[in-house]
């Protein structure tokens, strides 16, 4: 197994969210059902807004690609009438059922969650060790960045409205799938360039081996997050494993 990041120079900690900073149950039992339940109402009220129109255009492009690939997605009706909204919601739900890491889907979810956070209906969860680790890493002058399939907006909302308070002051940058897929090494090279720190000075922490493999291929140090409720991962000798951030970069 590779050396743990405690043994090497790390300038930037790159964090996944789901299963790393935040319980999977919060995402799948609270955030996703909230987006599903409120999608129709949100789209009805914001159908003509410029930002939503951009998401809808990209959603239609993705739906057409699904159709060409034989995935049998629900059809999306064009126009501004109720049928167009209903058909878009059907495809929105279909993507969620597929657990698709779709950029326009994640963008719309973030906008829906924003209303939930602003109204107080949503309050996000982080593991108890996360706030302490963020404070410790700031004292060590390390940058902390987030890379999640959720949109940058959704990331900022999550860390800005936690049961431990607003944690956004500890985070230097946010990255979503607009830089690339999480299982693509090039995504991590793009993040490294964006932060201005060599890949070798990053440690990426995630609960998914495929993502860690990609970051490792890009030259980053990697750590597997083993949290309660996380999905089992295939064995790997490439990545150190931790169950709490208290084990990391003391």
Of the pLDDT bands very low, low, confident and very high (cuts 50, 70, 90), residue 81 is confident
Does 1 score more than 70 pLDDT? no
Which tokens belong to 94?
A: 């279909």
Contacts of 188 (CB under 8 A, 6+ apart): 14, 199, 202, 204, 214, 215, 217, 218, 219, 220
End-to-end CA distance of the chain: 20
Domain with CATH 3.40.50.1000 in the chain: 5-22+124-247
Q: Indicate if the pLDDT at residue 8 is higher than 80.
A: no
Summarize the confidence of residues 215-236 as an average pLDDT.
Answer: 95
Q: Which CATH class is domain 5-22+124-247?
A: alpha beta
Residues 97-127: tens digit of each pLDDT: 999 999 999 999 999 999 999 999 999 999 9
Cα 237 from Cα 215, distance rounded (Å): 15
- Residue 180: is its pLDDT beyond 60? yes
Res 237: pLDDT:
87
Task: State the sign of the Cα–Cα–Cα–Cα dihedral 162, 164, 165, 167.
Answer: negative
* CA distance linking residue 202 with residue 21, whole number of Å: 17
Percent of the chain predicted with pLDDT > 90: 90
* Distance in angstroms (rounded) separating the CA atoms of residues 149 and 182: 7
Lowest mean pLDDT across 48-52, 121-125, 219-223:
48-52
7 pLDDT higher than 90:
no
Predicted confidence (pLDDT) at residue 68 exceeds the cutoff of 80: yes
28-119: CATH number: 1.10.720.60
Mean pLDDT score, 150-179: 97
C-alpha distances out from residue 202 to 50, 164, 219, Å: 37, 26, 8
Q: Tokens at residue 220, please?
A: 């980053």
Q: Is the pLDDT of residue 192 over 50?
A: yes
Where does CATH 1.10.720.60 sit in the chain? Answer: 28-119
pLDDT in tens, 125-146: 999 999 999 999 999 999 999 9
* Sign of the Cα pseudo-torsion (29, 134, 144, 52, in order): positive
Exposure on the CB side of residue 158, measured as CA atoms within 13 A: 25
Give me the mean pLDDT over the 30-43 stretch.
Answer: 97
Mean pLDDT of the residues in the chain = 94
Q: What sections of the chain are H helices per DSSP?
A: 24-26, 32-46, 50-68, 82-97, 103-119, 129-139, 152-160, 185-195, 209-217
């Amino acid at each position: 197994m590779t050396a743990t990041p405690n043994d090497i120079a790390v300038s930037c900690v790159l964090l996944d969210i789901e299963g790393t900073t935040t319980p999977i149950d919060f995402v799948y039992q609270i955030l996703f059902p909230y987006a599903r339940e409120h999608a129709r109402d949100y789209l009805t009220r914001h159908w003509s807004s410029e930002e939503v129109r951009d998401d809808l255009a990209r959603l239609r492009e993705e739906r057409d690609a699904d159709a060409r690939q034989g995935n049998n997605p629900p059809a999306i009706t064009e126009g501004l009438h109720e049928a167009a909204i209903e058909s878009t919601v059907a495809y929105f739900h279909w993507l969620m059922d597929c657990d698709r890491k779709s950029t326009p889907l994640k963008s719309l979810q973030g906008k829906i969650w924003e209303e939930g956070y602003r109204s107080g209906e949503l309050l996000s969860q982080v593991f108890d060790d996360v706030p302490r680790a963020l404070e410790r890493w700031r004292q060590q002058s390390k940058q902390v960045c987030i890379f999640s399939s959720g949109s940058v907006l959704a990331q900022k909302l999550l860390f800005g409205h936690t049961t431990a308070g607003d944690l956004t002051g500890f985070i230097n940058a946010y990255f979503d799938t607009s830089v690339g897929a999480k299982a693509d090494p090039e995504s991590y090279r793009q993040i490294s360039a964006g932060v201005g720190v060599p890949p070798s000075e990053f440690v990426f922490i995630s609960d998914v081996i495929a993502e860690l493999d990609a970051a490792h291929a890009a030259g980053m140090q990697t750590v597997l997050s083993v949290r309660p409720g996380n999905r089992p991962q295939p064995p790997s000798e490439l990545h150190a494993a931790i169950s709490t951030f208290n084990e990391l970069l003391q």
